[in-house]
Amino acid sequence: MRITGDHAELAVEGRLDVRTAADARAVLHEAVDGGRGDLVLDLARLDSWDATGLGVIMGTHRRAGRIGRRLVLRAVPGQLQRLLVATRLHRILAIEGAVCEPGGATLPGAGSAAPAAAAARA
Look at 70 and 6; give whichever has higher pLDDT: 70
pLDDT confidence of residue 60: 98
pLDDT confidence of residue 1: 87
Q: How far is CA 70 from CA 17, 50, 93, in A?
A: 22, 22, 9
Give dist(CA 31, CA 98) in Å, integer. Answer: 25
pTM attached to this predicted model? 0.80
Q: Which CATH superfamily is domain 2-110 in?
A: STAS domain (3.30.750.24)
DSSP 75: S
> What are the sequence ranges of the domains in the chain?
2-110
**HSE, side-chain direction, 13 A CA sphere, residue 6:** 4
Confidence band of 7 (pLDDT split at 50, 70, 90): confident
- For the segment 66-94, what is each residue's pLDDT rounded down to a tens digit? 999 999 999 999 999 999 999 999 999 99
